[in-house]
Structure formats: structure tokens, C-alpha cells
């Protein structure tokens, strides 16, 4: 086939955004995606979110190695194997992250990625439908529709009110000036349907005629010396090369991107040599710096029958599904994450490091078990774990899964922060606003009070929030552990970039879909050698953060 200007591996959050922007600029692009169509109702119906991330058709099916600090458990690591990538199987929650997250990126060597630098890209990508008058923080005409749920269930507003009664602020827009506080949650949902990166970016890009989508399994980057010239793929049982006239861009996830780099000879030289892989660039940071968000589900039995449990039966699910299929409305049109909170776990923490997702049902994330009938829960966990893990190769076979070791809870501070999460949560649910709704605590259970008891609960019940990142860290070109420079170029290679959540120096506050799309937006401008001018706005920081927890 004739080479296109750019070959992008991965039709996920960042890859779709780059294809759209490069095509908009008149460039030709080939996008390689191993997964298939995202058209099915389990993907498109927001209320069905627990299904696609547990379906081999849509998910790569990765899991961690036994985690030594979590009782040897293997934690599942869903990644989207479908058009739209993980934006087609995620919970659709939209969080930019805190302004300070990106200032930290810049301080860590990602020059040009401070909040002032990335804010115009968040604004360019957003089409925000929030009710609050625009104060210059949000974007209103981008490809990515962002909405809020109707919060018709009284439990959502009760949770927000309880946060205020506990002494935390209310925030009208956590993606705007003030993240800290309790308020309505936002989602990539539009007209009752999941609004993934495929819907927002890839389909419009394909309509330009300048983007070609190829369904194939990327096996390695083809290198001519230190220069990337294309991508070797397995397609319909045959190995072929997809050539790139200008550059190859890896956007295959924080799990598959480092795997592809290593299979291509870019990684820790000694480890590659052990697998018989020719070393093209000795970058020990490839696959290192793996981070994630862990969370537990704090669950309560409900005094009133106003939870989603009334639909937790076959007739109820059919009724919800039929209403959505006919009108794209009703409970199926929401991800049911309609209220949230961001707080600090202790005085001296400058900006929030705990996130809450409230759900009016007590259930596992995979939808397999509802607890004790009517109930509700919050997903809660620390945002800035100090634990770091690795993604490495099992062998030199592109068909083998990579070896994933998160090393969760390996830092003692993580335990202290997680205990604070649980104790602060109990305090919130003890407020007057929740009194008409709380029957008793299901999980962890009121009897678990000591540090040791809480630690044992965390060890047994903590789950991934499915936010892996950091495995091809961005930094200064002379940083031996950096993998890409601030232009997203792979250090030690030519014609090769990485643009997905792999490049995050540190995980942002909150869910990663929004920041991943932003990386695609900004990377496309770096590729095109253009920049949006910085936007200097000052975020709200609690005035007494140094002395007060709230």
C-alpha cells in the first residue's frame, strides 16, 4: 500500500483525536486498530457500562501479576480492544484533573505541559453543556460533548449536601476553577448515548477521506537504523508492513505502547537482549513508572426503596433497556455517576487527593453481585499513590500478553491515605442529609475500626479504578528514565512518537479519558509544529490548606 503521512497505532482516546486534527490540517493518516466495531448496544448505552469491560470481544483481558501487598490477588486491567479504545468501555466520567497536576508535569521535565499550556487544548476539545454560565474556563464548541446527569434520584443531592454538612465546599464545576468540594459529576454522554473518542473524532476524520482505518494487530515498529519507517502488523493471518512517509505514532495504551516499544528494540537494553531483541535505543524507562488509582467501595444499606436495586432483576433490566432502545432516554441514558466529591485527606495537602464517585446501588463494578438489596455506595481512593510498577515482556512473541506488575500499596504513605479515605467517608455518611437514607454500613462494616482491621479490608477489597498510566514517561531529553521528550518524540529514535496516557509523568486527579484526549489534541499540534497560546487562569486553592483539612 502507498504510505500515508502518519501511521497511528491505536484508535483510542488520543489516537482518534490525532487522526481528526491531522486530517483537518490536510495530512493523510492510517490508523491501526486490533479491535472491531463499537456499534453494539452494550457500548452505546451508558447504563450498560459494566458489560463491555468484561467482554473479550471489547477488552484485551489483561490482569496483573499477583500483587504482594494485596494478599497475592491478581487484579484485572481492562483496556479497550475496540474502535474508540478504552473510551468505548469506560465509565464515561469526565475529569480534566487539577491544574496543579499539569504544573507538576512541567516541573518534572515536561516543559510546555503546564496547566496554562494544556488548558487551551481542554477548551478546544470540549463542547460543554453545563448549566453554569461560562466564566472562560470551559470549551463550548469542540468535538467532545460533555453533559451532566439529571440527578433525579434524591440520593445524589443528599450525598452532595452531606459533604457540605461535613464542612467541605460545594463546587458548581470541578472541571472549572474549583475542583475541591462536592457537586454534580460530568460524563461523555450525548443525547443518551456514550460519546466516545470514536464518535467525537474518528468518524468525522474518516469522512474527510484522508484517514484510513485498518483492523490489524500491530506487532512492532519497523526501524531503519534509528528511524521508524512503518508498522509491522498481522492482518487476516498474514504479516505485512504499513509504511509511514513522515512518522509513526504509538497511542496503544499504557500497557500495549511500552510492549510495542520493547518489541521494536526500544527499552532496557539488558532485558531486550535476554529476549533476543536487537536494541535500537537503550531506554530503561520504557515500561517503568506504571501508576494507577486504587479504590474501595464503601457500601450502605438503604432505609428507603429508592435505589437502582428495584431494577436489579430481569424484568427491570429489560424495561430499562427497551426504553433506551426506543427513545435513548431513562435510566439507561445515564452512567449513574451523577454526583462526586474531591477532598484533601489531611492538612498540608495543597489540593485534593481523594476522589468520590457516588452510585445509587451497592454492587460490584463488574455488575456481578448486588449487596443486601437496596443500598448505595461510593468508590473512594487516593489520587496520588507513591507506588510504582512495571510493564515488561514475557517473551519476544507479539502475541504474548505483557507482564504487568503494579506493585500496589508498596509505599507506607498509601496505607495512611487509604485509611483516611475510609474514615472521612464514614463521617460524611453520618451527616444529617444522609440520615433518612442510611440503614447501616455494609462494607467495610461498622466493626472494622482499628488501623489493622481497615488495612485487612483494603488488602482484600481494593480494586483498580482502571487508570493505568506513566509507562513511557515524558521528560527532558537528558533524563535517563524519560522515554519521550516534551514534543512526544521517542528519545533515541527518529520519526517515532508516543501520545497516550503512557507519557504522563504522574497520574492526574481523577479519571484519565479527558487527559488522554487532551494529549492527542496537543500532540497533533506538536506534530504540525504549531501551538495554541497559553491561557493563564488561577485555580481555586483552599485558603487554609496548610493548616486545615477542610
Euclidean distance between CA atoms 329 and 337, whole angstroms: 16
Q: Nearest 5°: phi and psi at 201?
A: -120, -50
- State residue 460's pLDDT score: 96
Structural domains for the chain: 4-527 (3.50.50.60)
- Backbone angles phi and psi of 343, in degrees to 5: -135, 170
Output the pLDDT for position 368. Answer: 64
Would you list which residues are annotated within the binding site? 82, 90-93
User: How many Cα atoms are found within 13 Å in the side-chain-facing hemisphere of 195?
Assistant: 26
The whole-number pLDDT of residue 312 equals 86
The pLDDT, as a whole number, for residue 369 is 62
- Non-local (6+) Cβ contacts of 26 within 8 A are 210
Helices 513-527, 13-24: inter-axial angle, 10-degree rounding? 30
At residue 427, does pLDDT exceed 70?
A: yes
Contact indicator for 277, 454 with CB cutoff of 8 Å? no
Under 8 Å CB-to-CB from 256, ≥6 apart: which residues?
10, 60, 79, 218, 402
Per-residue pLDDT tens for 33-44? 999 999 999 999
Catalytic residue among 145, 345, 467, 542: 467
- Flag whether pLDDT at 221 surpasses 70: yes
User: Distance between CA atoms of 30 and 19, rounded to whole angstroms?
Assistant: 8
Give the per-residue pLDDT at 376. 96
pLDDT at res. 370:
65
Q: Provide mean pLDDT across the span 289-295.
A: 98
Beta-strand relationship, 144-148 and 126-128: parallel
Q: Print burial letters for 486-500: b (CB count within 10 Å at least 16), e (below 16).
A: bebbbbebebbbbbb
Cis-peptide, bond into residue 444, ω within 30° of zero: yes
For the annotated binding site for FAD, the residues are: 82, 90-93
Confidence label for 93 from pLDDT (cuts 50, 70 and 90): very high
Distance CA 339, CA 164 (A): 13
Paired with 438 in beta bridges are: 302
Summarize pLDDT for 451-508 with one digit per residue, the tens: 999 999 999 999 999 999 999 999 999 999 999 999 999 999 999 999 999 999 999 9
Of 512 and 54, the structure prediction assigns the larger pLDDT to 512
The pLDDT assigned to 372 comes to 74
Interatomic CA distance for residues 434 and 340, integer angstroms: 15
pLDDT at 187 exceeding the cut of 80 = yes
Would you state the pLDDT for residue 318?
92
The answer to whether 38 and 87 have CB atoms below 8 angstroms apart is no
**Interval 65-83 mean pLDDT:** 97
Percent of the chain with pLDDT over 90: 95
pLDDT for 493:
98
pLDDT at 2: 84
Residue with cell 504522574: 506
Stated pTM of the model = 0.98
Q: Which residue reads 473479550 in cell numbers?
A: 56
pLDDT tens sequence across 153-181: 999 999 999 999 999 999 999 999 999 99
The pLDDT mean for the chain works out to 96
Residue 261 has pLDDT above 90, yes or no: yes
Map grid coordinates 450498560 to a residue.
Answer: 48
- pLDDT band with cut points at 50, 70 and 90 for residue 367: low
385 or 313: which leads in pLDDT:
385
- E strands within 397-472? 403-405, 438-443, 463-464
Which of 203-217, 310-324, 350-364, 366-380 is predicted with the least confidence, judged by mean pLDDT? 366-380
Q: What is the average pLDDT across 126-145? A: 91
Active site residue 379: no
- Per-residue model confidence (pLDDT) at position 135: 83
Is the pLDDT at 439 greater than 70? The verdict is yes
pLDDT band at 111 (very low <50, low <70, confident <90, very high): very high
pLDDT for 515 = 98
What value does the mean pLDDT take over residues 6-17? 98
CB of 285 closer than 8 Å to CB of 482: yes
Amino acid at each position: 500500500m502507498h504510505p500515508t503521512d502518519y501511521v497511528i497505532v491505536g484508535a483510542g482516546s488520543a489516537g482518534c483525536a490525532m487522526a481528526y486534527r491531522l486530517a483537518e490540517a490536510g495530512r493523510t493518516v492510517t490508523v491501526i486498530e486490533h479491535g472491531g466495531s463499537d456499534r453494539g448496544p452494550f457500548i452505546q448505552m451508558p447504563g450498560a457500562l459494566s458489560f463491555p469491560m468484561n467482554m473479550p470481544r471489547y477488552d484485551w483481558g489483561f490482569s496483573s501479576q499477583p500483587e504482594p501487598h494485596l494478599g497475592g490477588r491478581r487484579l484485572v486491567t481492562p483496556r479497550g480492544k475496540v474502535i474508540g479504545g478504552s473510551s468505548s468501555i469506560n465509565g464515561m466520567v469526565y475529569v480534566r484533573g487539577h491544574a496543579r497536576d499539569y504544573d507538576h508535569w512541567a516541573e518534572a521535565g515536561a516543559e510546555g505541559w503546564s496547566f496554562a499550556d494544556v488548558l487551551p487544548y481542554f477548551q478546544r476539545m470540549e463542547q460543554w453543556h453545563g448549566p453554569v454560565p461560562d466564566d472562560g474556563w470551559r470549551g463550548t464548541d469542540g468535538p467532545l460533548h460533555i453533559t451532566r446527569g439529571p440527578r433525579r434520584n434524591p440520593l445524589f443531592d443528599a450525598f452532595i449536601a452531606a459533604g457540605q454538612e461535613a464542612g467541605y465546599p460545594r463546587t458548581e464545576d470541578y472541571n472549572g476553577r474549583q475542583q475541591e468540594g462536592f457537586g454534580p459529576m460530568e460524563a461523555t454522554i450525548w443525547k443518551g448515548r456514550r460519546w466516545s473518542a470514536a464518535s467525537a473524532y474518528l468518524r468525522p476524520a474518516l469522512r474527510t477521506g484522508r484517514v484510513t482505518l485498518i483492523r490489524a494487530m500491530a506487532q512492532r515498529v519497523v526501524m531503519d537504523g534509528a528511524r521508524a519507517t512503518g508498522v509491522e502488523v498481522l492482518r487476516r493471518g498474514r504479516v505485512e508492513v504499513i509504511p509511514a512517509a513522515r512518522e509513526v505514532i504509538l497511542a496503544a495504551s499504557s500497557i500495549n505502547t511500552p510492549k510495542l516499544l520493547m518489541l521494536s528494540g526500544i527499552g532496557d537494553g539488558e532485558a531486550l537482549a535476554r529476549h533476543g531483541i536487537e536494541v535500537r535505543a537503550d531506554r530503561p524507562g520504557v515500561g517503568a513508572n506504571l501508576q494507577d488509582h486504587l479504590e474501595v467501595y464503601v457500601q450502605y444499606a438503604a432505609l428507603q426503596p429508592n435505589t437502582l436495586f428495584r431494577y436489579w432483576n430481569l424484568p427491570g433490566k429489560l424495561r430499562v433497556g427497551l426504553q433506551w432502545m426506543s427513545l435513548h432516554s431513562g435510566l439507561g441514558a445515564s452512567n449513574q455517576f451523577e454526583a462526586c466529591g474531591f477532598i484533601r485527606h489531611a492538612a498540608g495537602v495543597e489540593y485534593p487527593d481523594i476522589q468520590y464517585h457516588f452510585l445509587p446501588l451497592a454492587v460490584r463494578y463488574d455488575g456481578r453481585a448486588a449487596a443486601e438489596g437496596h443500598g448505595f455506595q461510593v468508590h473512594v481512593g487516593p489520587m496520588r499513590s507513591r507506588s510504582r510498577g512495571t510493564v515488561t515482556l514475557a517473551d519476544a512473541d507479539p502475541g504474548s500478553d505483557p507482564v504487568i506488575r503494579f506493585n500496589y500499596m508498596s509505599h507506607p504513605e498509601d496505607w495512611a491515605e487509604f485509611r483516611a479515605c475510609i474514615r472521612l467517608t464514614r463521617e460524611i455518611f453520618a451527616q444529617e442529609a444522609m440520615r433518612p437514607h442510611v440503614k447501616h454500613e455494609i462494607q467495610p462494616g461498622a466493626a472494622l475500626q482499628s488501623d489493622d482491621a481497615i488495612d485487612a479490608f483494603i488488602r482484600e477489597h481494593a480494586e483498580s479504578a482502571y487508570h493505568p498510566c506513566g509507562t513511557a514517561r515524558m521528560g527532558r531529553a537528558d533524563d535517563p528514565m524519560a522515554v519521550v521528550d516534551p514534543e512526544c518524540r521517542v528519545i533515541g529514535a527518529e520519526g517515532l512518537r508516543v501520545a497516550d496516557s503512557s507519557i504522563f509523568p504522574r497520574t492526574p486527579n481523577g479519571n484519565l479519558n479527558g487527559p488522554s484526549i487532551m494529549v492527542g489534541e496537543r500532540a497533533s499540534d506538536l506534530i504540525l509544529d504549531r501551538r495554541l497560546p497559553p491561557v493563564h487562569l488561577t485555580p481555586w486553592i483552599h485558603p487554609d490548606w496548610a493548616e486545615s483539612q477542610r
